[in-house]
Amino acid sequence: MIYDLPLFRPPSEAKSVILQATIGCSHNKCTFCGSYKMKKFREKSLEEIWRDLLILKEFYPDAKRMFIADGNAFCMSTEKLLKIISMAKKVFPNLERISIYATPMDILAKSDEEISLLAESGLRLIYLGIESGDDVVLKEVKKGATSKEILKAGRKAIENGVTLSVTAILGLGGRKRSEEHAENTAKLLNEMKPHYTAFLTLMVVEGTPLHRKVLRGEFELLNKKELLLELRRIVELLEYKTVFRANHASNYLPLKANLPEEKEKLLREIDFALEHPEVLKPDYLRAL
């Protein structure tokens, strides 16, 4: 086995080869996230990564896409990432795209020249979890970055040749900050203008700090209607060109569209679901 489980990847990387170059998440402090709490962060050595590449080659000899895991492998040094990309392209000569998770601070830690060089070498896509555009929410969930830093990171990636896919989380502000979460997230996205924009819905993971807050009555979860209204408000406010997705397994209402062309279609679909809640996904079918 070459993987330290559990292993996570973006939904759009379902057909990609997964190269686990780091274990866990170097930040690992977000109060809502339980994905890497069981792991101690470390970077794999180049020798380990080369061995893993050769094993993967046996199963996926003609791979065209690769995702570099774990939680924020972009935190590795630019020199090491370039070596990994070079090795990957040597083992998989048909590779067309390499992608990776990053935190805002990972991106800000690299120079424009470094990001441009990584993009030119084959690192085509960065997945960036912004979670929210509201500074109160960001501080509460211990994201480790302000909205200004997140915006700066997103623009830095785009301006240096990287395709940017961002995710935000519906319901992360709870009932108390739902309006601010929606409006400030839309504001941040309008300024950042990522190529891909995705929304997940908050699912409280047992044992996380957020779960304990819910149990103590310090955080009120949004119900299905409130989540739809929050999403509707965000969609209303979005003004940039992007591929929009809210079809993650956690979402009650799967949605996808190209914005701004299909904004009205999205709003109609949300309005229909508000009037006909029976079309929403039952909780037992939702997943992280």
In total, the chain counts a number of residues equal to 288
- The rounded distance, in Å, linking the Cα atoms of 259 and 26 is 34
Query: What per-residue confidence (pLDDT) applies to 111?
Result: 98
- The rounded distance, in Å, linking the Cα atoms of 169 and 171 is 6
For the chain, residues with pLDDT lower than 70 are 1
The domain ranges of the chain are 11-280
CB 165 within 8 A of CB 194: yes
Q: Which superfamily is assigned to 11-280 in CATH? A: Aldolase class I (3.20.20.70)
- The rounded distance, in Å, linking the Cα atoms of 67 and 222 is 33
Q: Which residue has the tokens 């809640």?
A: 277
Beta sheet of 123-131, edge-to-edge order? 17-20, 65-69, 97-102, 123-131, 163-170, 196-201, 242-245, 256-259
Query: What per-residue confidence (pLDDT) applies to 82?
Result: 98
Query: What per-residue confidence (pLDDT) applies to 2?
Result: 80
Take residue 159 and report the two structure tokens written for it: 């301006």
Query: What per-residue confidence (pLDDT) applies to 288?
Result: 81
* Sequence-ordered strand ranges (E) for 121-160: 123-131
